[in-house]
Amino acid sequence: MLVNAFIANTLAQVDDLAELKVSLVALSLLEAKPAATPFVTEGELLNHPAIRNGLSFPTTTLRLALQRAVLRGTLLCASIGEGELRYYFANDAAGRRAVEVIESAGAPPKPGASRSAELLARVAFELERLEMLEVYAPEPEDLSALEERLARGYTEDEIIAALRAALRAPRPRHTPPRTLRACLAVLDAQPPAAPSEYYRVIVSKAAPPPEEIVNLRERLGREPTGREYDLVRAATGMFGLRAVLDGLKRVTRDGHVNVDALIPLLAEREEALLALQRADARAEAHLRELVALYESAFGLPPTATVADEMRLLWDEVSDLSLWRSVFAYAASQNKRDWFYVKRLLQNPSPDVFTPPPVNETAQFAFAEYKKRVNRTLDGHVAADINALAAQITDTTRWAAAFDKAAEANALRWDYIRKVLTASPQGKRKGTDSNGRRGETTQRKGRTYSRPQVEYTEADREAARERARQRIASRRKQDDLP
């Protein structure tokens, strides 16, 4: 996980609060994206609440914080197009490869500006040393030849080793110095130790080509080079297959395919669609609410395609409470997938409205109810179980209630609830129906309780006075003749 790796390896070195916030938000967005080569832009970061509300002067502070994150190695940055649109990637194998491919799609690399240019300098040094040359002048095709071998999966050490093997035998006298291209035949005679996808698909034909490569090959009228292959595959990882197939149509003119223009074209199109989607979201109150739900559940704003689908789906499902329940349920199930949310919206499951258990007792009761009463747990029943589970935490009482309901052939929630809420020991001896203590009377095998009356001292004195009067009255009657 990107965030966990950042916390373990880099967090202790970060001493700037803005850089820390931006790094955590960017890595979180990258983790949440399902793309093979995920990226984030400054626009996405600015629209995140933690950046928009958590940074002072966010537009200015964000750029500085991103520069610090790139210098520290947390993120990688690639500039696309003349507008200097910056895309930020995770500093992993996929991100590094994407940045290298994007940079190769721009102007021709300067000496030392790319991996292939640095390798060419090493090759020139070896040729000068082994061929006894003062200076080796690279041929025009040397750089592209090295790029091709790197794309096939050959490492720099493998290329240098093949070069030394080809030049091991002394050069015959009066013959011109050997060039790089003459030495590459030794390298091509054996496959690379770790063949790339391009090598397996195009060179050795050991794997079927992806759909976008088939489309590219038909447009080129030949097999793509390693550079062309990597550019198209990187574009697919960033923008998706449909966008790439559409982009290949737009970069094809008169039978010529300008593959270098593919990623800048798709980047410009994506940025325009996102800007349009944000403008539409501001204009439509309900869509703005749906976009906020998407961001809170998945941690990143929806793409333009997803926003369009949300707008169309709202015409079918216009209950905002259902949208909230579905997004909350998808987040609780860790299903960060728009297609999963869309399927639930069109065919909502009863589980969407079921609240989660409040404790272990409620979790036990949920499982027992689904097993014994009904596989589908109604949301109202689940809420009632949660309320009772907060008061009755003994799972044995819950199991006994289910058992008693089963014995009475009354496996219904109202009966189970009645058993649970009844006193576990029944009525206490010497209490009435209201729970008040009093005298008990046996009558025909049944016990009846009399409520015990509380008297004050004045009541007792009045009772004694009445008793004295009754006694005096009886004595007078006895004295009469």
Question: Residue 229, Cα to own-chain centre: how many angstroms?
Answer: 29
pLDDT band at 106 (very low <50, low <70, confident <90, very high): low
Lowest-confidence segment of 32-36, 366-370, 430-434 by average pLDDT:
430-434
CATH 1.10.10.10 fits 2-91, yes or no: yes
Give the β-pairing of 75-80 and 85-90.
antiparallel
Q: How far from 353 is each of 374, 383, 448, CA to CA, in Å? A: 16, 10, 47
pLDDT tens-place string over residues 134-168: 888 888 888 889 989 999 999 999 999 999 999 88
Q: Which of 154, 181, 183 is nearest to 167 (CA)?
A: 183
- 431: helix, coil or strand? strand
Task: Calculate mean pLDDT across residues 288-297.
Answer: 82
CA 414 to chain centre: 40
Reply yes or no on whether the pLDDT at 79 is more than 70: yes
| pLDDT value of position 46 | 83
Looking at the predicted structure, is the pLDDT value of residue 425 above 60? no
Mean pLDDT of 372-389: 78
User: What pLDDT, on the 0 to 100 scale, is given for residue 351?
Assistant: 60
The CA distance from 414 to 142, in Å, is 83
- Is residue 361 predicted with pLDDT exceeding 80? yes
Backbone dihedral angles phi then psi of residue 236, each to the nearest 5 degrees:
-65, -40
CB neighbour class for 109 (10 Å; exposed up to 12, middle 13-18, buried from 19): middle
Q: pLDDT higher for 328 or 68? A: 68
Mean pLDDT of all residues in 437-460: 57
pLDDT (0 to 100) of residue 195: 93
pLDDT at 282: 52
Q: Which long-range contacts (CB under 8 A, 24 or more apart) does 170-173 make?
A: 171/131
Do residues 440 and 449 touch, judged by C-beta distance below 8 A? yes
Q: Which residues contact 307 (CB under 8 A, 6 or more apart)?
A: 277, 280, 281, 287, 291
Q: Stretch 326-336: mean pLDDT, rounded?
A: 80
DSSP string, 229-288: HHHHHHHHHHH-HHHHHHHHHHTEETTEE-GGGHHHHHHHHHHHHHHHHHHHHHH-HHHH
Number of Cβ atoms within 10 Å of the Cβ of 454: 6
pLDDT exceeds 90 at position 19: yes
Percent of the chain with pLDDT over 90: 23
pLDDT at 206: 94
pTM of this prediction exceeds 0.75: no
The listed range with the strongest mean pLDDT (72-76, 84-88, 360-364, 440-444) is 72-76
What's the whole-number mean pLDDT along residues 60-72? Answer: 91
Confidence of residue 22 (pLDDT cuts 50, 70, 90): very high
- pLDDT > 80? residue 435: no
Position 434 pLDDT exceeds 50: no
3-class SS shares of the chain: helix, strand, coil, % to 5: 60, 5, 30
**Can you give the pLDDT at residue 81?**
67
What is the C-alpha to C-alpha distance for residues 462 and 440, in angstroms, rounded to an integer?
Answer: 27
Give me 301's structure tokens: 């704003």
Provide the percentage of residues in the chain whose pLDDT is more than 70. 85
Q: For the purposes of burial, counting CB atoms within 10 Å of the CB of 45, is it exposed (0-12), middle (13-18) or buried (19 or more)?
A: buried
Phi and psi angles of residue 85, each rounded to the nearest 5 degrees, phi first: -70, 125
* pLDDT for the residue 430: 46
Q: What is the pLDDT of residue 199?
A: 94
pLDDT of res. 415 = 87
Edge-to-edge strands of the sheet including 85-90?
40-41, 85-90, 75-80
- Parallel/antiparallel/unpaired status of strands 85-90 and 438-443: unpaired
Per domain, the residue ranges of the chain are 2-91, 115-262, 284-353, 360-421
